[in-house]
């Protein structure tokens, strides 16, 4: 079976100054994840590697490029899920962790729980030797300037999702040569969010879901809207009813738009290797590797090819 990996760098109105870096960033992440698959690694390993690449890139709202909350602090969320066993791990509101997706995987593999939050998640990270970093290291110059401009949460949310001006979640889905699927999603949340606010990203069935019988999904967009419609699982429910991956994504995103006026996007892969990158926002940076070909896009209906 041919392996497939698809990544996204967030669905929002990506400004021109971040357009090229966002595209280059998702392409680099797709290469990192697909390299794992080509060397015989699992889908789980691949999505973690791809998301870590984006968490390490200050262009994206995850890890080193995270947005700031109302107190000017970083609070990070992440999830990872194995489609073979339905095992999942998640963390929310964690601080000083550069790669929360790896901490989420540790929750999945080293505890009997699915999600750890805030102080408990950080204490767990310390107990297993995950390195912490100074808080300032996770804040880009771009974010510092944007946070100063938009200190009011209500104003921020209106601008972020009526005009989609806030950079967003990152994520990845993969199918490996053994036929297993996996997903991972990571975010810094909404700029100027209330302290302790948790969005969709770490919530199973919302920010991500993976099941070998249906496929894997990673979502992006307005977290509260995604939570209300359980977007990841909604997409797979359409697949369960016989819809193609692309049609299932479009139907679920349209429902979210019609029902709760929420914008967003998703990357999806099926157990047979079909994949899609779909969004209702102005732009979403995405990239996919399939049969040694690298596909990518930024605008609606854009599908370009590059050297792997």
Residue-wise pLDDT for 103-150, tens only, equals 999 999 999 999 999 999 999 999 999 989 987 788 777 776 777 766
pLDDT digits (tens, 9 = 90+) for 258-289: 999 999 999 999 999 999 999 999 999 999 99
pLDDT for residue 164: 45
Is domain 4-302 classified as CATH 3.40.50.300? no
The two tokens of residue 237 are 């429910």
User: Of the residues 58, 169, 220, 230, which is catalytic?
Assistant: 169
pLDDT for residue 64: 92
| Cβ–Cβ under 8 Å, residues 100 and 66 | no
Rounded mean pLDDT of 299-306?
Answer: 96
Gap between the Cα atoms of 145 and 161, Å rounded: 19
Return the C-alpha torsion angle 225, 204, 61, 222, nearest 10: 0
What percent of the chain lies above the pLDDT cut of 70?
93
Q: Catalytic site residue 169? A: yes
The two tokens of residue 219 are 């979502």
Give me the residue spans of the domains in the chain.
4-302
Look at 11-15, 98-102, 165-169 and tell me which has the smallest mean pLDDT: 165-169
Mean pLDDT, the chain, integer: 92
Band of residue 96 on the pLDDT scale cut at 50, 70, 90: very high
- Sorted by sequence, the CB contacts under 8 Å of residue 55 that are 6+ apart come out as 62, 63, 64, 98, 99, 100, 101, 170, 186
């Amino acid at each position: 079976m041919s392996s497939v990996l698809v990544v996204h760098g967030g669905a929002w109105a990506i400004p021109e100054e971040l357009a090229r870096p966002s595209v280059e960033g998702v392409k680099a992440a797709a290469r990192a994840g697909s390299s794992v698959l080509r060397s015989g690694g699992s889908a789980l390993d691949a999505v973690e590697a791809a998301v870590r690449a984006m968490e390490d890139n200050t262009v994206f709202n995850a890890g080193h490029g995270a947005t700031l909350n109302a107190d000017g602090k970083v609070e990070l969320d992440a999830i990872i899920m194995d489609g073979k066993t339905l095992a999942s791990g998640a963390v929310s509101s964690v601080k000083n962790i550069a790669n929360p997706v790896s901490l989420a995987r540790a929750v999945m593999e080293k505890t009997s729980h699915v999600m750890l939050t805030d102080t408990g998640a950080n204490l767990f990270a310390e107990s297993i030797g995950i390195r912490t970093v100074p808080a300032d290291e996770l804040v880009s110059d771009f974010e510092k300037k944007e946070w100063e401009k938009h200190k009011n949460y209500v104003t921020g949310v209106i601008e972020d999702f009526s005009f989609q001006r806030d950079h967003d979640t990152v994520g990845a889905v993969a199918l490996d040569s053994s036929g297993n699927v996996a997903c991972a999603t990571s975010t810094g949340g909404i700029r100027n969010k209330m302290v302790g606010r948790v969005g969709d990203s770490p919530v199973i069935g919302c920010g991500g879901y993976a099941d070998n019988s249906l496929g894997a999904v990673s979502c992006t967009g307005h977290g509260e809207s995604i939570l209300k419609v359980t977007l990841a699982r909604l997409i797979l429910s359409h697949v369960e009813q016989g819809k193609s991956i692309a049609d299932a994504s479009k139907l679920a995103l349209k429902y979210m738009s019609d029902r709760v006026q929420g914008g967003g996007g998703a990357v999806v892969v099926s157990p047979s290797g079909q994949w899609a990158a779909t969004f209702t926002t102005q732009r979403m940076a995405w990239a996919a590797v399939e049969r040694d070909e690298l596909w990518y896009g930024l605008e609606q209906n854009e599908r370009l090819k590059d050297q792997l």
